[in-house]
Structure 1
Amino acid sequence: MEFSPVITRIAVLACLAAAAGCANSSPGTATATPSATPSSTVPGAPVTPAQQALSLESLYEDVIHQVLPSIVQITTGNALGSGIVFDNQGHVVTNAHVVGDSRDFEVTVPTGGAARKATLVGSFPAGDLAVIKVTDPRGLTPAVFGDSTKLRVGQIVLAMGNPLGFSGTVTSGIVSALGRTVIGPREGGMPGATIANAVQTSAPINPGNSGGALVDLHGQVIGIPTLGANNPEQGPADGIGFAIPSATATDITRQIVQNGRVLNTRRAALGVQVGTAIGRDGEPMGVQVGAVTRNGPSEKAGIRTGDVITSVNGKATEDTATLSEVLATLKPGQKVPVVVRHSDGTQTTVQVTLGELPGGS
């Protein structure tokens, strides 16, 4: 089943706190189906509610026993976050906002023992993903990554991580929605990471869960918890969290492991540097072009420095955040109409063949 991307126009809060940050040797290729306690020992006998409950409870226990050893705690400075062991070489995938600007980390495994040293392999801030490598990978248990494109709304999922520093914490919920597009908090006046095709879940995601695992009842990682919904007036919204889908996470992680950086982001770009344009009433009125990539998509379409982009593919782009949201739903190579207001007050619509967003370092 395919799901059309849905723009989620809510404020989101990255799972950060004072002490937070919010695969088998061939990740994504293995399968694992934990055994469940039979619901009835008598063939043909009716299944009672008590037997059903015990069967589900046993399944939960099996999944937790299987996956939790793959979820590590990452310490950077005074902050804590979570990560997932990706392979037998010691690579750990996490969120870019967990690693921040750090290059050296300490990793603690759920099975105990002294913290292990780790270093940054590469980061992709635009998609909020990063990979670190543990210096001593002995005894690490790679997780099994599932196919997030096959998820269904209503599936039971478990979120595993280290919220508020409580290592090895597990919460449960369901897949609430698919195909969301959400944006992390602004940093330095710039929009945060854009998560396309995010998995929305009711499993509680708290500060420190970032970089951990969203797991199905087959014991497969189908997402990386990254954001929790936040109402600016009322605070965090319980039961509304978002995870990077495993299809995206494994693709980006493999590129970083193999190349040290992302070579193919699969994300659309206009080839411009922009900032939010403010009208005379003090309200956002579009995104102003500060620089244009030479021979890039926008320059070829006639967009120039100083122009204000007010719409892309029929959707208003009142600020840099909404522009990021719109571009996250499009593909490189796609030709789209872009409405541009020029410095002389005139307005034109140009056709832009979208380029590809550059990868991180």
Structure 2
Amino acid sequence: MDVSRARHLLPPLTAGACAVALVCGCSAAGDAAAPERSTQAAAPRAANDLQDDYQAVIKDVLPSVVQIDAARSLGSGVVYDGKGHVVTNAHVVGEEKTFRVTAATGGQPVTARLVASYPEQDLAVIKLDTVPQGLKAAKFGDSAAVGMGQIVLAMGSPLGLSGSVTQGIVSATGRTVSEGQTGGGTGATIGNMVQTSAAINPGNSGGALVNLDSEVIGIPTLAAVDPEMGGGSAPGIGFAIPASMVRTVADQIVKDGKVTDSGRAALGITGRTVLNDDSEPAGVAVVEAPADGAAGKAGLKPGDVITRLDDTDITTITSLSEALASHQPGDTVTITYVRGTETRKTEVTLGEM
């Protein structure tokens, strides 16, 4: 799937629309008049309860969300701790080192500096020079508890509209998505992403995807692109980096100023996509395979062409990255490759990126 930051504003979904659907869905006649009145009365109450939940979450979480202005981009961030650390996307900070940050709840902007960026996972941490009054650290949720159908809210600054909120559900979990390098993307392949129907627009990147317990379950990062729409965004298909990965990366950056343990599997090769006689991608040619790397230890050599990883066909560098994203360092996988005219297989114990 091709993904990039979204380019078009989507119509917001409101709690009011939910209430109308519930009321209009009720119908009865004759002797069922009393149950009808009871059902009609219950529907608005349920809708009002849900609306109250939304408003409570927004009030609780919005003081943990900020707008980040860089020289060449605008995005969002989530307050990570009480010391002024803010986590965001690497593509939001780009090559910049200093930023102007404004709380989603308003107030004067403050300056911030880059602590470190980790483009491989499209995450970065910046630190505020001063912490504005009222700003508070977000509460991060358990990624393992995120499930399809959960109601979520996306908070950030889409199109520069600071403190905006959109609503949707968790559409799927465990998605592996490759980010394009056009439009400011880092080209990262990211595993275990949360797919959501909440609108993700330019400026939402780096913000908060939260559940109804006011927990951040992900950092909105990408929106799907539909080639049939001329490269426009595909409404209702957005992706967020899961909270577990956010914490893993941010904790290391805050403590050490860099990522020291990526947790990402690697074959330990330099490769390139090769084409078949029909000029179609047909595998990944090994350019370099150091003897002390995972692939080198398993016997792969320069010139070998990788065509499968376990049961997954490998046709491009991107497809290889996506296949590796679902694995951990230390996992053993079966690599199918072509050497000369002979197809071979070998077991590889994956290293770390």
> For this structure pair, what is the TM-score category when the shorter chain's length is used for normalisation?
0.7 to 0.9
Match of 1:100 in 2: 94
8 A Cα contact 1:15 1:210, kept in partner: no
Q: Could you list the per-position Cα deviations for residues 164-188 of structure 1 after superposition, in whole angstroms to 9, with x for gaps in the alignment?
A: 1111110001111111111111469
Match of 1:348 in 2: 344
Aligned CA distance change for structure 1 residues 293 and 129 (closer, same or farther; 3 Å): farther
Q: 1:66 aligns with which of 57, 60, 74?
A: 60
2:258 is paired with a residue whose SS is: coil
Specify which structure has the higher proportion of helix: 2
Match of 1:324 in 2: 321
Counterpart amino acid of residue 71 in structure 2:
G
8 A Cα contact 2:6 2:225, kept in partner: no
Counterpart amino acid of residue 283 in structure 2:
G
Match of 1:54 in 2: 48
Q: Take 1:272 and 1:224, find their aligned partners in 2: how far apart are those partners?
A: 30
Q: How far does residue 15 in structure 1 lie from its aligned partner after superposition?
A: 4.6
Q: How far does residue 325 in structure 1 lie from its aligned partner after superposition?
A: 0.8
Counterpart amino acid of residue 3 in structure 2:
V
1:331 is paired with a residue whose SS is: coil
Aligned CA distance change for structure 1 residues 138 and 167 (closer, same or farther; 3 Å): closer
Q: How far does residue 346 in structure 1 lie from its aligned partner after superposition?
A: 2.6
Q: Take 2:211 and 2:102, find their aligned partners in 1: how far apart are those partners?
A: 24
Match of 1:218 in 2: 213
Match of 1:14 in 2: 5
Asked if 1:239 corresponds to 2:236, the answer is: yes
Q: 1:79 aligns with which of 73, 79, 89?
A: 73
Match of 2:268 in 1: 271
Match of 1:315 in 2: 312
Q: How far does residue 61 in structure 1 lie from its aligned partner after superposition?
A: 0.9
Q: What are the equivalent positions in structure 2 for 1:297-312 lying under 5 Å apart?
A: 297-312=294-309
Match of 2:335 in 1: 338
Structure 2 unpaired stretches of 5+: 9-37
8 A Cα contact 1:15 1:208, kept in partner: no
Q: Take 1:226 and 1:15, find their aligned partners in 2: how far apart are those partners?
A: 10
8 A Cα contact 1:273 1:289, kept in partner: yes
8 A Cα contact 1:183 1:191, kept in partner: no
8 A Cα contact 1:276 1:320, kept in partner: yes
Q: 2:250 aligns with which of 248, 253, 257?
A: 253
Match of 1:286 in 2: 283
Q: Take 1:193 and 1:183, find their aligned partners in 2: how far apart are those partners?
A: 6
1:48 is paired with a residue whose SS is: helix
Larger radius of gyration: 2
Counterpart amino acid of residue 79 in structure 1:
S
2:348 is paired with a residue whose SS is: strand
Q: 1:227 aligns with which of 218, 222, 227?
A: 222
2:323 is paired with a residue whose SS is: helix
Asked if 1:201 corresponds to 2:196, the answer is: yes
Higher relative contact order (Cα pairs below 8 Å, separated by 6+ residues): 1
Moved over 4 A (4+): none
Counterpart amino acid of residue 156 in structure 2:
G
Aligned CA distance change for structure 1 residues 290 and 191 (closer, same or farther; 3 Å): farther
2:141 is paired with a residue whose SS is: coil
1:298 is paired with a residue whose SS is: helix
Normalised TM-score (structure 2): 0.86
Q: How far does residue 290 in structure 1 lie from its aligned partner after superposition?
A: 2.1
Q: Take 1:304 and 1:167, find their aligned partners in 2: how far apart are those partners?
A: 52
Match of 2:128 in 1: 134
Q: Could you list the per-position Cα deviations for residues 222-270 of structure 1 after superposition, in whole angstroms to 9, with x for gaps in the alignment?
A: 1111111111221211111111111111111111111111122111100
Asked if 1:161 corresponds to 2:164, the answer is: no
Structure 1 unpaired stretches of 5+: 1-9, 18-44
Normalised TM-score (structure 1): 0.84
Counterpart amino acid of residue 12 in structure 1:
V
